[in-house]
Amino acid sequence: QVQLVESGGGSVQPGGSLRLSCVVSAYTYSSNCMGWFRQAPGKEREGVARIYTSGGRTYYADSVKGRFTISQDNAKNMVYLQMNSLKPEDTAMYYCAADQFPTWNSCFFSRLSTLSYWGQGTQVTVSS
């Protein structure tokens, strides 16, 4: 069965760091497009970062550029999101998602609703 499971969320003060992890079942890891997304209360789900595993190209939302880093570990079937210099506006439920696309361009700019596989989410709270 297709499965993605996130972990690593928690509460942190502004300026702090967290690393989110997403373990991917063997089936979904054949997906070449992995991403992290977030949804704050009362807001729509938005893209944070994506990685096209066929080559390792990455894409970030402007709001997190220079602060967040997406990476993968093929040997462990893991995808990570290192979050530094966290801000209160980063507070949200963070989700891992996966799918397969023919190009990095389609991976990075496809609508969230087109992504096939999603985890249950992990909460990140940034507050003093």
Q: With 70 as the cut, is the pLDDT of residue 7 above it? A: yes
Q: Per residue in 73-125, pLDDT tens?
A: 888 889 999 999 999 999 999 999 999 899 999 999 998 888 889 999 999 99
d(CA 118, CA 96) in angstroms, rounded, equals 6
Q: Which amino acid makes up residue 56?
A: G
**Could you give phi then psi for residue 11, rounded to 5 degrees?**
-105, 135
Q: Give the residue-averaged pLDDT of 46-52.
A: 96
Q: With 70 as the cut, is the pLDDT of residue 28 above it? A: no
For a pLDDT cut of 90, what percent of the chain falls above it?
Answer: 74
Q: Give the residue-averaged pLDDT of 17-42.
A: 88
Q: With 70 as the cut, is the pLDDT of residue 27 above it? A: no
Contacts of 42 (CB under 8 A, 6+ apart): none
Q: Which residue has the higher pLDDT, 44 or 77?
A: 44
Band the pLDDT of 50: cuts 50, 70, 90: very high
The per-residue pLDDT for 71 is 96
